Structure 1
Amino acid sequence: MSDDFEIFLVATPGLEAPLAAEVRALGWTPETQPGGVTIRGGWQDVWRANLLLRGATRVLARVGSFRAMHLAQLDKRGRKFPWADVLRPDLPVKVEAVTRKSRIYHAGAATQRIERAIAEELGAPIAADAAIVVKLRIEDDLVTISLDTTGESLHKRGHKEAVAKAPMRETMAAMFLREMGFDGSQPVLDPMCGSGTFVIEAAEIALGLAPGRSRSFAFENLASFDAEGWQALKASVPVRRANPQFFGSDRDAGAIRMSQQNAARAGVAELTRFDQCQISDLQPPDSPPGLIVVNPPYGARIGNKGPLYGLHAAMGEVFRSRFAGWRVGIVTSEAGLAKATGLPFQPPGPIIAHGGLKVRLWQTGPLAG
């Protein structure tokens, strides 16, 4: 195993561009493709990507590849692969295979061959519920072997226990903030904050907190893992000072409690403020103008959109009449609801897959006084 291999950073479809920008800002050279971003590096880069990236959902280490035209060849080359360089013989492994445009077309048979190679050559047990996942991709007769180095999806930062009904994933919230030009210095207000994701994510970015600081990762169970090096990497992340200018409100008292608890677990309680408040009663916080970012209800089912048009119109009126100088970002699946606000939106961002819906970010420039 060389210490220079391809690392694939999985993105939420539609958010590849802001993820590439984040990757570039952290010093890597990204190559964007549908579904994610590729970089090159070694195990330290794998650890760092899992620890620091806010927009990736998963980090795959592409640890090797070879050609195979038929199952016997896959079996033979699979047995010669240096599994001991990447996997531990004492921990169970699961293999997942996909095949495309290849003479080996049966993913199940390919899975069995690689499982047997790992079990017999390395001695590692095979288990359907194993935490270590080897991903096998056979495309145009090229077999690529990747390791899922993440485990649970990266949007699970390890702080949010309480979740609102239609939660915005942390990875998406971070990328929407990035798309709005947020760099940690601007105030942020979410007037329908739910479980507080936008507000907490903004406060963490302002402080420079590593999103993966509180959780464990699959790479900690690989042969390449160095516990001391990992602790040193975590300790090297600089934390900044930041202003307490991250505000959330919601009409639901339960949402406010959830947000406060989640902010406390994330270590940003002192930078955030959450108030129970109807949109109609919303007033600008005591801060310079900043960003309003909101993920309002968009009524996935046909038939319950009527009241939502009224809600969006009222929300737009509040923003226009009280929030001069602020910029607004609204995440919605419905262009009609965005337009019902009457806000001067720029052309909307790309379509993003969100829980079976297709949403977009609509944003304005600074609102006129």
Structure 2
Amino acid sequence: MTKEQDFEIFLAAAPGLEDVLCGEVRLKGFKQPRAVPGGVVIRGGWPEVWRANLWVRGAGRVLARIESFPVTHLAQLDRRARRVPWAEILRPDIPFRVEASCAGSRIYHAGAAAERIETAIRETLGAPHAPDAGILVRARIEQDLCTISVDTSGDLLHRRGHKQAVNRAPLRETMASLFLLQCGYNGAEPVLDPMCGSGTFVIEAAEIASRLNPGRSRHFAFEQLATFDAEAWQRMRDVKSARMPAARFYGSDRDAGAIVMSQANAERAGIAACTEFRVATISDLAPPAGPPGLVIANPPYGTRIGDKQTLAPLYRTLGQTLLRRFAGWRVGIVTSEPSLAYATGLPFLPTTAPVPHGGLRVSLFRTAPL
């Protein structure tokens, strides 16, 4: 598997957001993206792997699919794993680990499968195995077909490298960017989050408008692979497309600590100049001067019994304030509770399937311009 070779690349997404991610991947110029359960598949070489990690906002991780073969028993898996050209992909001096999953296959013991592949790599390449290694080889055995991938991202991609301070139950940046896309946001209009917490929606919107690559401030697992070309990667990172956006981005929260957090995170992300954060309650909310845009919020959901009743007035106030003062603005609300969303009284468009988030299932409730 040489640097020039073409192979399948899998970009993981939260189930329910595959089509939205596919739209983003297409917009970023990747060839023939295809939505599949759990993500998006593209084809390309290692430069496409690097670019996907650097550019794509909505993907949770990027896997390079390096080999696929039918397998029905462990001895066969052992033989086939030894024929994978590991020396072309992994480095003998860098520790690795293996994770396996089995579904509907004659090999059903994931631990035994992982062990066979791990031994094959160790004995053919000489690389050390370590349970906490940054290089992860994944094997998925489904319907007696084994697909071997290398996780090229390392840390999950929502860890952009800017946000040191977070509040309780924050929305992942990857998911926030896809919800912005679902609301039709393209970087040309103002965005306001009236319950901004640590500033995720505001910072993602400002970065999109500023054309900043989401992966610009972090390292990736592919930098430790045999296929890595440091000079080519540096050239890719050095391509500057950043601009000062025409629109501005606003966050407010009744918690002063959240505002301090958001400002610090925006500063680290390099978008402080086009963002504004202030302490304000929902009833204080007023549209900023200029053209209408998008109001988007991830309010508290109320996961304990009785919480819903106490939160309903907050949602009601939010809806009334927006209907009264935000004519021409679109609204997006992320919540796990449809009854709370409908308590706003806002005229929502049909919703899409709920998306898993932090042990819950959340939906995006959207309106047309009010």
TM-score normalised per structure 1: 0.97
- Give the one of 20, 42, 64 matched to 1:18: 20
Structure 2 residue 165 is the aligned partner of structure 1 residue 154: no
In 1, are the aligned partners of 2:179 and 2:364 still within 8 Å (CA)? Answer: yes
Provide structure 1 residue ranges, at least 5 long, that are not aligned to the other structure: none
Q: Secondary structure of 1:353's partner? A: strand
Q: How many residues align?
A: 367
| Kept in 2: contact 1:245–1:287 (CA 8 A) | no
Deviates more, 1:326-335 or 1:66-75: 66-75
The letter for the 1-side match of 2:82 is R
Q: 1:39 aligns with which of 39, 42, 53?
A: 42
Segments of 5+ residues of structure 2 without an aligned counterpart are none
TM-fit CA distance, 1:68: 2.4
Superposition deviation, residue 112 in structure 1: 1.4
Task: Find the aligned partners of 1:46 and 1:165 in 2 and give their Cα distance.
Answer: 32
After superposition, what is the alpha-carbon deviation per residue over 1:75-123, rounded to whole angstroms, capped at 9, x for unaligned? Answer: 1221121100000000111011112222222222211111111111100
| 2:203 aligns with one of 186, 189, 200 | 200
- Specify the SS of the correspondent of 1:286: coil
- Is residue 127 of structure 2 the alignment partner of residue 127 of structure 1? no
Secondary structure at the counterpart of residue 299 of structure 1: coil
Q: Provide the C-alpha distance between the structure 2 equivalents of 1:197 and 1:350, rounded to a whole number of angstroms.
A: 22
Aligned residues of 2:188 and 2:247 also touching (Cα < 8 A): no
1:143-165 Cα offsets, whole Å, 9 max, x none, are: 21100000111001000001011
**Map of 1:331 onto structure 2:** 334
**Equivalence map 1:1-369=2 (5 Å):** 1-2=1-2, 3-28=5-30, 29-367=32-370
CA distance in 2, matches of 1:333, 1:101: 32
What one-letter code is carried by the residue in structure 2 that aligns with 1:15? Answer: L
For the residues of structure 1 that align with 2:320 and 2:143, how far apart are their CA atoms?
56
Contact 2:202–2:251 (8 Å) recurs in 1: yes
Q: Percent identity?
A: 62
SS of structure 1 residue aligned to 2:260:
helix
Deviation at 1:166, TM superposition (A): 2.1
1:19 counterpart letter in structure 2: L
Residue type of the alignment partner of 1:82: P
Q: Deviations over 1:45-69 (max 9, x none)?
A: 0000000000000000001122322
CA distance in 2, matches of 1:322, 1:105: 59
SS of the equivalent of 1:185 reads coil
The CA distance in 1 between the partners of 2:145 and 2:339, in whole Å, is 46
- Which deviates more from structure 2 when the two are superposed, residues 249-258 or residues 295-304? 295-304
Give the conservation status (yes or no) of the 8 Å contact 2:95–2:129: yes
Letter in 2 for 1:166: A
* Contact preservation (8 Å) 1:244, 1:270: no
1-structure distance, mates of 2:243, 2:301: 36
Question: What TM-score results when the alignment is normalised by the length of structure 2?
Answer: 0.97
Cα distance between partner residues in 2 of 1:24 and 1:183: 14
CA shift at 1:353, angstroms? 0.7
Q: Which aligned segments of 4 or more residues in structure 1 are displaced greater than 6 angstroms? A: none
| Aligned partner of residue 116 in structure 2, secondary structure | helix
**Aligned partners of 2:9 and 2:43 also within 8 Å:** yes
Cα separation, 1, equivalents of 2:174 and 2:101: 26
Tell me the distance in 2 between the aligned counterparts of 1:165 and 1:110.
38
RMSD, aligned CA:
1.0
Distance 2:329 2:133 in 1: 48
| Structure 1 residue identity aligned to 2:6 | D
2:53, 2:339 → 1: CA distance?
38
Q: Which amino acid aligns with 1:112?
A: E
**Matching residue's letter, 1:20:** C
The residue identity in structure 2 corresponding to 1:4 is D
- 1:244 CA displacement: 5.0
Measure, in 1, the Cα distance between the counterparts of 2:292 and 2:325.
11
Contact 2:351 2:364 survives alignment (8 Å) = yes
The C-alpha deviation readout for 1:318-368, integer Å capped at 9, x for no partner, is 10111111111111111111111111111112211110111111111111x
Output the CA distance in 2 between the equivalents of 1:35 and 1:212.
Answer: 21
| SS across alignment from 1:102 | coil
